[in-house]
Amino acid sequence: MTDSTRQLQQMARRRQAVHGWLLLSPALIMLSTFAFYPSVATVWTSLWSRGTRRNPSEFVGLENYQRLLDDPTFREVAWNNLLYAGVTIPVSIVLALVMALWANAKIPARGFVRTAYFTPTMLPMIAAANIWLFFYTPGFGVLDTIGGLFGAPSVNWLGQPETALWAICAVTIWKEAGFFMVFYLAALQTIPEDLREAAQIEGASRWTYLRRIVLPLLMPTTLFVLVNALINSVKLIDHLFILTKGGPSDSSKLILYYIWESAFAFFDAPSAAAMTVLVLIVLGVGAAVQFRMLDRRTHYR
Amino acid sequence: MSEPVFVRLDGVTRQWNGAGGVRDVSLEVPRGAFVAILGPSGCGKSTLLRLLAGLETPEAGRIEIDGREVTHLPPAQRGLSMVFQSYALFPHLNVRENILFGMKVRRVSRDAREAALARATKMTGLEGLERRKPAELSGGQRQRVALARAVVSGKPLCLMDEPLSNLDAKLRHSVRRDIKALQRQLGLTVIYVTHDQTEAMSLSDTIVLMRDGRTEQIGPPEALYHAPATPFVARFIGDPPMAVVDGAALGVAAHPVGIRIEAIERVPLNEADIEAEVVETEYLGARTQVLLHHPAAEGLALILPDRVPLPPGTRLGLRLPQEHRVRFAADPHRNHAPHPPLPGDRDGHVADPNPNTHPEDQA
């Protein structure tokens, strides 16, 4: 009889396994199709040469990466992206914090202020970029018109290499700060009023309270925002398509735009894949370092 | 009160759109006193404390602390510490940093800080917990940290806002004793807000009973217990509270008459002042508490020794000894500014401050 019980047991176990896989399958299929397969395919593609009709692609190992590092455009684009991240991340975070503190205080028309700050986030990036295109337009754009009132010469903000990247940064900061503000605002509202009063009775100034109590309690939010800002600094390029298309002479080109260009304008998929892998590595390391370093100094409730 | 006045409130008013808050409160607290501000929720007791702390600004009136007018001074310049109901500990700082926060802000030297910390942790029994975060402490320990923070501040006045309301009954007892001991040891003047009359009775030298933003009666606990000024006080103080009987039912004038139920005697029906019907009996071990019903009385009960089986509906004769009766004035106007009685408030009148009471209870 033991034989048949074992058989029964085996059947039951198998049925359970099938059940489990069925439950797993929707997520598994979605993730495999849209995340796992593309990642693996990207890595794989980056190791092969660009194939043409005459020269079929062949395995070249890390040659694509080597070529990238020798490519002056890639180096310029990478440097642009570093500058872009280095400016937009701190500025938008500090601005978000200041706006959140302001919008959290007892001010008149608080609801209006909050909505106003959040509006840029709700606009599609393409639409926002078009608005800014009008701001920046030389001659009759808003900036030039205002500048003209004070006798400043007309500036082609987007059209000259010295200012193009900074003009792009301004758009990003304008867009991101309102988004990050919402997180800070939510975090600020979880800090009980008691703490401020207790600090006040102890003789802490508003600045001391901010520095010693509020900022440390906002650290988890800052960490979250920082990681998001880092990812966005690589991810958010919609406005480039409208404003500069990476020009003039690559001065405002960012990595993702260059990847797109390589893949879909120059049809150099392996080089685009290699860049993608590099970006993923850098982002991964960056996020890991941030979590590691800041986690130790972060208080989670 | 022979001792010099330490805290003085004079006609302090703070309301929100003419409602709630505190209306025309005057109060004098001598140095080293333990004053409980007692009242039902929404009576303005917390507002009064916040006014004292400087977390609210009065619309009218004066506040003096230690002979100095502080009505419009910020909290830090009033020379006081405060223990919050929520403890208000800084969650990201450990016990030590929490306790020393104020001293660091005030740039006290390291040696002085260490000495104060050692003293405060010893007094509050927090030794060995200095490195813990508030989240790693029990409710009682958090409460002690809040107390320690008040202790190290070295301020002569300590305000406490329902500091025990988040603790369980057992802990409440022991922390209550600790607070009292601490107050004595340091000679602190404590102003303590609570809605729990037992807490107020057992801790304080003076009780300020508040109602609808006004002080209803101010006096030592025994005065409020034996000689309540109004039926409201009579029903608020004591567990069980005073029974209040309509004077007409006792054959005296139509004044409400209050009496402590432990003074009520059971007598044969023909000798009784009033007759009441048994509603329920509660056997409490050494005694039985009999809840009684009479159409003109409220909170009537009788305490009998041992276990006495009395079926509901039994009619009992009761004697309310003259010397234990507290007669409240039927006079409808109050002894302070006019204020309409709340709707549904059966006897919203205030007696003259000293109705017939025991001579030894006269404050």
* B328-331 own/partner pairs: CB under 8 Å, 24+ apart: B328/B230, B328/B231, B328/B234, B328/B244, B328/B255, B328/B256, B328/B257, B328/B258, B328/B355, B329/B255, B329/B355, B330/B247, B330/B253, B330/B254, B330/B255, B330/B256
Nearest-CA distance B89 → chain A (Å)? 7
What's the pLDDT score for residue A298? 64
In terms of domains, do A99 and A232 share one?
Answer: yes
ipTM: 0.76
Mean pLDDT for the stretch of residues B212-227: 90
Q: Are residues A41 and A87 in the same domain?
A: no
Give the span between the Cα atoms of A179 and A235, in whole angstroms.
15
Distance CA A97, CA A101 (A): 6
Tell me how close the Cα of A217 comes to any Cα of chain B, in angstroms: 7
- The reported pLDDT for the residue numbered B283 is 87
Give residue B354's pLDDT: 41
In a domain? residue A301: no
Residue A207 lies in a domain: yes
- What are the angstrom distances between the C-alpha of B102 and each of A137, A148, A198, B52, B150? 55, 54, 9, 19, 9
Report, as an integer, the average pLDDT of B210-235: 90
Same-domain status, A9 and A111: no
Beta strands in chain B (DSSP E): 5-16, 19-30, 34-38, 60-65, 68-69, 80-83, 157-161, 189-194, 206-211, 214-219, 243-246, 256-259, 265-267, 274-283, 287-293, 297-298, 301-305, 315-319, 326-327
Q: Are residues A74 and A197 in the same domain?
A: yes
Residue B74: its chain A contacts at CB < 8 A? Answer: 200
More confident residue, A222 or B339: A222
Write down the mean pLDDT value for chain B.
Answer: 84
Q: Any idea what DSSP says for residue A36?
A: I
Segments forming the whole domain that contains residue A157: 64-296
Our separate counts of H helices and E strands in chain B read 8, 19
Residue B219 has pLDDT above 60, yes or no: yes
One pLDDT digit (tens) per residue for chain A, 301 residues: 567 888 889 999 999 999 999 999 999 999 999 989 998 999 988 888 887 777 777 888 888 888 888 888 889 999 999 999 999 999 999 999 998 998 888 778 888 888 888 888 888 888 888 888 888 888 778 888 888 888 777 778 888 888 888 888 998 899 889 889 989 999 999 999 899 999 999 888 889 999 999 999 998 898 889 888 988 888 878 888 888 887 788 888 888 898 998 888 888 888 899 999 999 898 888 888 887 877 766 666 5
**In this complex, which of A198, A204, A212 lies closest to B84 when CB atoms are compared?**
A198
A285 lies in the same domain as A169: yes
* pLDDT value for A299: 62
Distances (CA, A) of A65 to A49, A55, A128: 11, 20, 35
Nearest to A202 among B54, B86, B105 (CB): B105
Q: Check CB contact under 8 Å for A194 and B55.
A: no
From residue B246, alpha-carbon distances to B249, B299, B334 in Å are 6, 12, 19
Q: Closest partner residue to B76 among A192, A200, A213, by Cβ?
A: A200
Note whether A83 and A165 are same-domain residues.
yes
In a domain, A239, yes or no: yes
Hey, of A195, A201, A208, which one would you mutate to test binding to chain B, going by the most B CBs within 10 A of its CB? A201
For chain B, domain boundaries: 5-226, 241-356
Alpha-carbon separation of residue A39 from A44, A280, A298 (angstroms): 9, 10, 32
- Interacting residues of A137 by C-beta distance below 8 A, sequence separation 6+: A144
Considering the domain architecture, whether residues A38 and A161 belong to the same structural domain is answered as no
Identify whether residues A117 and A225 lie together within a single domain. yes
Closest residue in chain B to residue A297, using alpha carbons only: B92
Query: Residue A37: its pLDDT value, please?
Result: 93
B102 and A203 within 8 Å at the Cβ level: the answer is yes
The answer, yes or no, to whether the previous bond of B163 is cis (omega within 30 of 0) is: no
Which of B155, B84, B89, B58 is closest to B116 using CA atoms? B155
Tokens (6 digits) for A42:
């990207």
Region B211-238: mean pLDDT is 90
Interchain contact A190–B (C-beta under 8 A): no
Q: Which of residues 59-88 of B touch A (CB under 8 A)?
A: 74-76, 80-82, 84, 86, 88
pLDDT score for B340: 39
Residues of A in contact with B92 (CB under 8 A): 213, 216-217, 219, 299
A108 at B interface, C-beta within 8 A: no
CB-based contact, A295 to chain B, within 8 Å? no
pLDDT at B330: 64
pLDDT reported for residue A32: 93
Strand partners of residue B318: B266, B274
Task: Flag if B90 and A200 touch (Cβ within 8 Å).
Answer: no
Contact with chain B for residue A211, Cβ under 8 A = no
Closest to B227 measured CA to CA, from B352, B345, B342 = B352
Q: Do A105 and A218 sit in the same domain of this protein?
A: yes
Q: Does B135 touch chain A (CB under 8 A)?
A: yes
The residue of chain A nearest to residue B77, with distances taken between CA atoms, is: A203
pLDDT at B338: 37
Range among A2-11, A61-70, B32-41, B244-253 with highest mean pLDDT value: B32-41
| Contacting residues of A for B80, CB less than 8 Å apart | 201
A57 falls within a domain: no
Q: What is the mean pLDDT of residues B247-267?
A: 83
pLDDT of the residue at A91 = 95
Distances, alpha carbon B159 to alpha carbons B41, B85, B191, in Å: 18, 11, 5
Q: Is A198 on the interface with B (CB under 8 A)?
A: yes
- Mark yes or no for CB contact A204/B105 under 8 Å: yes
The pLDDT tens digits of the residues spanning B84-99 come to 988 899 999 999 999 9
Q: Band the pLDDT of B3: cuts 50, 70, 90.
A: low
Predicted confidence at residue A188, as pLDDT, reads 92
- A96/A179 Cα distance (integer angstroms): 8
Please state the domain count of chain A: 2
Whether A56 maps to a domain, the answer reads no
Task: State the fold for domain B5-226.
Answer: Rossmann fold (3.40.50)
Assess if residue A163 is contained within a domain.
yes
B183: three-class secondary structure by DSSP = helix
CATH code of residue A147: 1.10.3720.10
Pairing of strands B68-69, B157-161: unpaired
Contacts of B105 in chain A (CB under 8 A): 199, 202-204, 208, 212
Check whether residue A138 and residue A283 sit in a common domain: yes
> In this structure, are A230 and A285 located in the same domain?
yes
- Answer yes or no: is pLDDT of B350 > 60: no
C-alpha span between A140 and A147 (Å, rounded): 11
Residues A37 and A70 reside in one and the same domain: no
Confirm whether A51 is domain-assigned. Answer: no
Quote the distance between the C-alpha of residue B253 and its chain's center: 32
Closest partner CB to A202 (pick from B55, B91, B102)? B102
Q: In the numeric block, which tokens belong to residue B37?
A: 């501000």
- How far apart (Å, rounded) are the C-alpha atoms in residues A37 and A14? 28
